């Protein structure tokens, strides 16, 4: 693996995001030449905390800026792309969806169109769709398979499904770009600074001794996959597509295939840190709550296809990553005090 990525010219959109910064960190270690797009120079990212920014070339700007994308792609003779930039906050998308449509949908077609028109060197484009693109299926249909139709309703989910389908056009016979789409479950781990996501929010409350406020009643089923497993999936997909264009147009799910109730995730964390009384308080607070609105009730991803093609399976789970994740957040908060 290390030889393959060495000296490869790689473009990561959303490089200062949770997944983007972890991917950049890993690829720097493998000797790649990284070019990244970040929306602004707000230094709230693992990229800056771990001094990775000095090891890559960062362009600041919007993923909908065609001229900027043209410049990045042509000037640097980019061969490999990971498209991760997105407006990911479900709550923001529900309140005011315009920027979510713009970033997630327009951002995707402007990028793919820029590659189609201006880029001669591209051999692999991995586009991050999401488990949310599927929309909602009944519990008995868990885990979700790649063959399921996309039937989203909520705005973030729809924006990801639109981007996902735009990839079909660009990888299809007319434009023939080498694209693989990923639909991954909830990713967690060091560097995730979206505090509307469950695990960052939980650790924020635990470390700061604050009362954790749950959005729904805790009964939703979710699938949590660790960032290190996801980085491995991204690398194997990118390398394989680069070497074999026949993979273009394929879609891959990844998750743990082990759905867990939100309340059980909370319990696991509070038990681990021996905060039993706090957990009882949370349980009391949600007693009279109803299910959260604007969220899919049951999701977990079937990773059989990724296993069949590349022998990928998750190595980590919530229990064996809790300490590593906690330590990262602890140091993150300490740095900020």
Ligand X SMILES: NC(=O)c1ccc[n+]([C@@H]2O[C@H](COP(=O)([O-])OP(=O)(O)OC[C@H]3O[C@@H](n4cnc5c(N)ncnc54)[C@H](O)[C@@H]3O)[C@@H](O)[C@H]2O)c1
* Contact status: 184 vs ligand X (CB under 6 A): yes
* Contact status: 130 vs ligand X (CB under 6 A): yes
Residue with Cβ nearer ligand X (131 or 278): 131
* Contact status: 35 vs ligand X (CB under 6 A): no
Q: Residue 76, SS3?
A: coil
Query: Where would I find the beta strands (DSSP E) of 109-233?
Result: 124-128, 179-184, 186-188, 221-222, 224-226
DSSP 3-state percent helix, strand, coil across the chain (nearest 5)? 50, 15, 35
Site for ligand X in 88-117 (CB under 6 A): 88, 103, 107
* Contact status: 128 vs ligand X (CB under 6 A): yes
Residue 3's H or E segment, with its range, is helix 2-5
* Contact status: 194 vs ligand X (CB under 6 A): yes
Per DSSP, the residues of 285-298 read HHTT--PPTTS-SB
Residue with Cβ nearer ligand X (84 or 179): 84
To ligand X, the closest distance from the beta carbon of 263 in angstroms equals 19
Q: Are strands 9-13 and 33-38 parallel, antiparallel or unpaired?
A: parallel
DSSP state for residue 184 in the 8-state scheme = E
Q: Rounded to whole angstroms, how far apart are CA atoms 160 and 104?
A: 6
* Contact status: 124 vs ligand X (CB under 6 A): no
Residue with Cβ nearer ligand X (212 or 224): 224
* Contact status: 18 vs ligand X (CB under 6 A): yes
* Contact status: 187 vs ligand X (CB under 6 A): yes
Site for ligand X in 239-298 (CB under 6 A): none
Among 8, 10, 16, 263, binds ligand X (CB under 6 A): 16
| 156 labelled catalytic | yes
To ligand X, the closest distance from the beta carbon of 158 in angstroms equals 12
Among 27, 34, 86, 231, binds ligand X (CB under 6 A): 86
Site for ligand X in 141-170 (CB under 6 A): 160
* Contact status: 17 vs ligand X (CB under 6 A): yes
The one catalytic residue among 144, 156, 270, 326: 156
Which of these ranges, 33-41, 115-123, 284-292, 317-325, lies near ligand X under the rule CB under 6 A?
33-41
Burial of 287 (0-12, 13-18, 19+ CB in 10 A): exposed
* Contact status: 14 vs ligand X (CB under 6 A): yes
Residue partners of 161: CB distance under 8 A and separation at least 6: 129, 133, 134, 135, 150, 152
Q: What are phi and psi of 177, to 5 degrees?
A: -80, 150
Residue nearest to ligand X (CB): 17
Site for ligand X in 55-84 (CB under 6 A): 62-63, 84
Residue with Cβ nearer ligand X (39 or 57): 39
Q: What length does the chain have?
A: 337
Q: How many residues bind ligand X (CB under 6 A)?
A: 26
Q: Are 189 and 321 in contact (CB under 8 A)?
A: yes
Q: Are 292 and 217 in contact (CB under 8 A)?
A: yes
Residue with Cβ nearer ligand X (187 or 241): 187
Q: Rounded to whole angstroms, how far apart are CA atoms 38 and 40?
A: 6
Of 56, 66, 93, 303, give the one whose Cα is nearest residue 196: 93
Of 25, 12, 2, 1, give the one whose Cα is nearest residue 190: 25
Residue with Cβ nearer ligand X (19 or 241): 19
To ligand X, the closest distance from the beta carbon of 129 in angstroms equals 7
Q: Rounded to whole angstroms, how far apart are CA atoms 15 and 37?
A: 6
Active site residues: 156
Q: Which residues bind ligand X (CB under 6 A)?
A: 14, 16-20, 37-39, 62-63, 84-88, 103, 107, 128, 130-131, 160, 184, 186-187, 194
């Amino acid at each position: 693996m290390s030889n393959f990525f060495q000296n490869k010219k790689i473009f990561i959109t959303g490089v200062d995001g949770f997944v983007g910064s972890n991917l950049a960190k890993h690829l720097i270690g493998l000797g790649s030449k990284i070019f990244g797009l970040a929306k602004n120079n707000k230094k709230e990212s693992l990229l800056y905390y771990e001094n990775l920014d000095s090891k890559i070339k960062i362009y600041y700007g919007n993923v909908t800026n065609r001229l900027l994308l043209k410049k990045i792609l042509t000037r640097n003779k980019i061969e490999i792309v990971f498209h991760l930039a997105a407006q990911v906050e479900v709550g923001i998308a529900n309140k005011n969806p315009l920027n979510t449509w713009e970033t997630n949908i327009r951002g995707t077609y402007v990028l793919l169109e820029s590659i189609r028109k201006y880029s001669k060197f591209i051999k692999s484009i991995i586009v991050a769709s999401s488990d949310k693109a599927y929309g909602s299926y009944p519990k008995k249909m868990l885990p979700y398979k790649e063959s399921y139709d996309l039937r989203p309703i909520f705005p973030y989910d729809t924006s990801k499904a639109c981007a996902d389908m735009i990839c079909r056009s660009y990888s299809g016979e007319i434009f023939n770009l080498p694209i693989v789409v990923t639909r991954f479950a909830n990713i967690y781990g060091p560097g995730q600074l979206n505090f509307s996501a469950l695990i960052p929010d939980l650790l924020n409350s635990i470390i700061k001794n604050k009362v954790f406020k749950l959005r729904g009643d805790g009964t939703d089923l979710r699938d949590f996959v660790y960032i290190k497993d996801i980085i491995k999936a991204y690398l194997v997909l990118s390398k394989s597509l680069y070497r074999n264009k026949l993979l273009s147009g394929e879609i891959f799910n990844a998750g743990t295939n082990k759905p867990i109730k939100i309340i059980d995730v909370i319990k696991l964390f509070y038990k681990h840190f021996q905060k039993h009384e706090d957990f009882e308080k949370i349980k009391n607070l949600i007693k009279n709550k109803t299910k959260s609105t604007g969220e899919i009730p049951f999701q977990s991803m079937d990773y059989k296809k990724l296993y069949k093609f590349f022998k990928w399976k998750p190595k980590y789970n919530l229990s064996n990553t809790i300490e590593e994740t906690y330590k990262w957040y602890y140091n993150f908060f300490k740095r900020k005090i």
